[in-house]
Amino acid sequence: MAGSLIKIDEEIVTSAVASVTLTGIDSTYDVYQIVGSNIRPASARQLEARVTKSGVADTSLNYDWAYKGMYTGGTFVNESGTNQDSFFIYNSYEETTASGRGNGLLMYLFNFANASEYSFFTLEQTYLHSSGALGGNQGGCVHTVASASDGVQFLWDAGVNFEEATFTLYGLKK
């Protein structure tokens, strides 16, 4: 796989910001990948994402998502939503706000540059609980509008800021 990931954009958060946007998606690649690491909010909130159209986040009620939530300190849960104004990525509880306990995620983006298809992605997300238990989600999301998307915006609900994070967008070489 060496040489098959081409870095398109990277955003590194080192001071408080309300949102992070990765751009540069076009028809050059069929599939894009986003890697997120050390993702920490200022306070416990819910991480969400939106697609961008011409660089602007789409806030319409056209986001559907479903996940299997996994936690070594508890049970599995099913989570889903339809006709939402964003994709739910995961809840960040108090343990993830402490330095050294940031979250990670891996997303694969499909049909983003195709104006006649829905944009969608798969997601794997992980975190380390303060008890030492591991948790995360695995699932997918779809933006139910047949139009091209050129990026992804990440934000916390209720206007909470990012404390730190690194998000990197890659194109998967054809």
Q: Specify the amino acid at residue 136.
A: G
Torsion 24-152-140-15 (CA) sign: positive
Distance CA 174, CA 22 (A): 21
Angular region, 92: left φ>0, alpha ψ -120 to 50, beta rest:
beta
Indicate the residue type of 73: G
By residue range, what is the domain housing residue 113? 5-172
What's the whole-number average pLDDT of the chain? 90
Residue 17 and residue 159 in contact, taking contact as beta carbons nearer than 8 Å? no
For the ranges 63-77, 95-109, 115-129, 159-173, the lowest mean pLDDT is seen at 95-109
pLDDT tens sequence across 36-63: 998 888 887 889 999 999 999 999 999 9
DSSP letters spanning 71-106 = ETTS--EEEEEEEESSEEEEE--GGGSSTT--EEEE
CATH code of the domain covering residue 63:
2.60.120
pLDDT at 35: 97
**Separation of alpha carbons 106 and 96, rounded Å:** 17
Instruction: Report the percentage of the chain scoring pLDDT > 70.
Output: 91
Number of compact structural domains in the chain: 1
Mean pLDDT of 104-109: 95
In this prediction, residue 26 carries a pLDDT of 97
Are the CB atoms for 52 and 153 separated by under 8 Å? Answer: yes
Q: What pTM, to 2 d.p., does this model score?
A: 0.92
Distance CA 104, CA 24 (A): 22
pLDDT of the residue at 40: 85
